[in-house]
């Protein structure tokens, strides 16, 4: 396995009293860096774009976004610093231009069709910071030890929080955090949020995409931002903490630890044969014994009709949602599942981009001050993608639908299990045949959604082939997965 690519932008300073650095880390899953960062130290411009996870051309969309916004800023400044109002107008215009540029590039090249990006930009003037953003890339400020999020995510969950339908803590546990209501390149027009913030001595600012905040909570981010040290050290600390938070398995036998495995793939196979991701060469283990499927922040263990069975915490299972510290038993072997960020020893598996901005004391450019990193991370797998609702779904004041109060059921209509019913009471249910075609149905507050997970062909709903995005199921929809027809309906 090749080492991950790491690129570090040089630390630079300018006369406004800020120091900047950028760190880009590509792990073992993505072949391309789908994020883009631009730091213009002379003008105090920070731009960060995140290619929409899993879509072809995400790297093109993010790079195009940054280049387009940068050109717009350069065109408006004419070598002079912009005042706050002019800066806000330039950022809004730049992100709209980026939206159009992505759409034109996608229309001109079928391989790039459907690409998109989220973006956050922060620009310094003499007395304030002006920001603009689209999507779920964020801007934070650390002031006097208190971390404040200055942007509001353009996501379905945030809309539900704003409407009072769910609480912030509940939203953090939901599996649909990646469902966007806005993104660059998604619709002919895009609404850009712009904000202006006064500067105070030793303010620290953080720009990041959703990968970082999916792994690190606000308390941990605040601790890392407030840590002493050089600007690039603080940026590296954010990356290291993100890496530490990735889930992993600890393989052992008779109390002896044999191996540590990072769950950096959407599907991880376990068995005796060599073509498994985790090979256990023991006759008590079946050739293809079990599979772990990772969907967003959840991991699902499924026995593959093994001879001796799969056990979790001493209990036999067919399918099981793994929890932190669960022990999977395969014969004499044990696999401990860990998601606790305090557990040491994770290696990088995805991709995190980090840039950093370090201010000096505003009263004295010679005095050292706190570090201000700008970080971006993204989790991605072969079938986990950023999803975007239609532009008019929530953006223009459309009402949020009431919470779901009826239980969904799948009834098998064909094949050996015809007539069997499966209640969709869990947050996520997998259907299909591993290696051929697998889909997942997620239960969300406002309905049931089906998403393609594995296989060259996609499931159909009412005879229409799905695309990569999540599709909401309607009462009595006919679903076909791996050649088996099923009916979805809501219990009365």
* CATH number of residue 299's parent domain: 2.60.200.20
- pLDDT grade for 213, boundaries at 50, 70 and 90: confident
Helix, strand, coil abundance in the chain, percent, nearest 5: 20, 40, 45
Pair (220, 260) in one structural domain: no
For residue 141, pLDDT over 70 is answered with: yes
Pair (125, 177) in one structural domain: yes
Q: Which of 22, 46, 35 is nearest to 355 (CA)?
A: 22
Q: If you average pLDDT over residues 151-159, what whole number do you get?
A: 87
Domain end marker among 319, 338, 357: 338
Which of 236-240, 362-366, 447-451, 465-469 is the least confident region? Answer: 362-366
E-strand stretches of 345-435: 351-359, 373-378, 387-388, 408-412, 421-423, 428-433
pLDDT tens-digit readout, 65-88: 999 999 999 988 765 667 889 999
Domain-located, residue 71: yes
Q: If you average pLDDT over residues 181-204, what whole number do you get?
A: 91
Pair (408, 435) in one structural domain: yes
Q: Which of 302, 350, 343 is nearest to 322 (CA)?
A: 302
What's the number of domains the chain is made of? 3
Q: Put residue 219 in one of left, alpha, beta given phi > 0 → left and psi -120 to 50 → alpha.
A: alpha
Q: If you average pLDDT over residues 303-323, what whole number do you get?
A: 92
Domain that holds residue 276: 248-338
Percentage of residues of the chain with pLDDT beyond 70: 75
Domain-located, residue 29: no
Q: Are 51 and 57 in contact (CB under 8 A)?
A: yes
| pLDDT at 16 (0 to 100) | 57
Burial of 458 (0-12, 13-18, 19+ CB in 10 A): middle
Q: Are 52 and 385 in contact (CB under 8 A)?
A: yes
Mean of all residue pLDDT scores within the chain: 77
More confident residue, 159 or 484: 484
- pLDDT grade for 172, boundaries at 50, 70 and 90: low
Pair (466, 421) in one structural domain: yes
Pair (121, 238) in one structural domain: yes
Pair (61, 176) in one structural domain: yes
Pair (121, 191) in one structural domain: yes
pLDDT tens-digit readout, 442-460: 777 778 888 887 777 889 9
Domain end marker among 321, 338, 355: 338
For residue 391, pLDDT over 80 is answered with: no
Which of 22-26, 33-37, 216-220, 469-473 is the least confident region? Answer: 22-26
Sign of the C-alpha dihedral computed for residues 225, 229, 235 and 239 taken in this order: negative
Q: If you average pLDDT over residues 186-193, what whole number do you get?
A: 92
* H/E element, 165: none
- pLDDT grade for 324, boundaries at 50, 70 and 90: confident
Q: Which of 158, 139, 137 is nearest to 149 (CA)?
A: 139
Q: If you average pLDDT over residues 185-195, what whole number do you get?
A: 92
Pair (96, 76) in one structural domain: yes
Pair (209, 62) in one structural domain: yes
Domain-located, residue 398: no
More confident residue, 4 or 23: 23
Helices 58-77 and 84-108: crossing angle, nearest 10°? 140
Domain-located, residue 432: yes
Domain end marker among 245, 261, 277: 245
For residue 173, pLDDT over 50 is answered with: yes
Pair (80, 153) in one structural domain: yes
């Amino acid at each position: 396995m090749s080492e991950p690519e790491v690129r570090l932008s040089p630390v630079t300073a300018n006369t406004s009293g800020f120091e900047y650095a950028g760190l880009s880390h590509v792990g073992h899953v993505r072949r391309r860096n789908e994020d883009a960062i631009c730091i213009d130290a002379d003008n105090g411009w920070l731009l960060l774009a995140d290619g929409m996870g899993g879509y072809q051309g995400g790297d093109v969309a993010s790079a195009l976004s940054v280049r387009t916004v940068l050109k717009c800023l350069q065109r408006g400044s004419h070598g002079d610093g912009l005042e706050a109002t002019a800066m806000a107008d330039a950022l809004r215009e730049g992100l709209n231009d980026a939206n159009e540029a992505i759409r034109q590039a996608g229309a001109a090249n079928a391989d790039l069709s459907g690409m998109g990006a989220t973006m956050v930009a922060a620009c310094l003037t003499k007395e304030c910071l002006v920001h603009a953003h689209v999507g779920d890339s964020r801007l934070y400020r650390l002031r006097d030890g208190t971390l404040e999020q200055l942007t509001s995510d353009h996501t379905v969950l945030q809309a539900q929080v704003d409407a009072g339908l769910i609480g912030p803590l509940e939203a953090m546990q939901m599996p649909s955090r990646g469902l966007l209501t806005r993104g660059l390149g998604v619709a002919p027009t895009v609404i850009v949020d712009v904000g202006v913030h006064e500067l105070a001595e030793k303010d620290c600012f953080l720009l990041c995409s959703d990968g970082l905040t999916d792994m690190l909570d606000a308390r941990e981010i605040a601790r890392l931002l407030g840590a002493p040290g050089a600007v690039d050290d603080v940026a590296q600390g954010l990356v290291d903490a993100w890496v530490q938070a990735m889930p992993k398995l600890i393989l052992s036998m008779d109390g002896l630890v044999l191996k540590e495995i990072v769950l950096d793939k959407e599907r991880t196979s376990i068995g005796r044969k060599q073509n498994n991701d985790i090979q256990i060469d023991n006759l008590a283990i079946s050739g293809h014994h079990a599979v772990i499927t990772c969907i967003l922040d959840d991991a699902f263990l499924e026995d593959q009709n093994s001879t001796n069975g799969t056990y979790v915490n001493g209990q036999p299972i067919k399918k099981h949602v793994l929890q932190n510290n669960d022990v999977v038993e395969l014969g004499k072997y044990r696999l401990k599942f860990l998601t606790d960020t305090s557990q040491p020893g994770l290696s990088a598996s995805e991709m995190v981009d980090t840039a950093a901005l370090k201010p000096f004391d505003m009263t004295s450019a010679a005095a050292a001050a706190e570090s201000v990193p700008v970080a971006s991370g993204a989790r991605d797998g072969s079938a986990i993608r950023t999803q975007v609702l239609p532009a008019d779904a929530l953006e223009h004041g459309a009402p949020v639908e009431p919470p779901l109060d009826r239980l969904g059921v799948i009834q098998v209509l064909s094949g050996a299990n015809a007539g069997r019913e499966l209640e969709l009471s869990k947050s996520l249910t997998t259907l299909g045949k591993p290696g051929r075609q697998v889909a997942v149905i997620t239960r969300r507050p406002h309905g049931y959604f089906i998403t393609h997970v594995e296989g060259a062909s996609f499931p159909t709903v009412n005879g229409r082939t799905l695309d990569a995005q999540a599709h909401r199921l309607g009462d009595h929809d006919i679903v076909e997965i791996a050649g088996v027809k099923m009916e979805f309906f809501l219990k009365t």
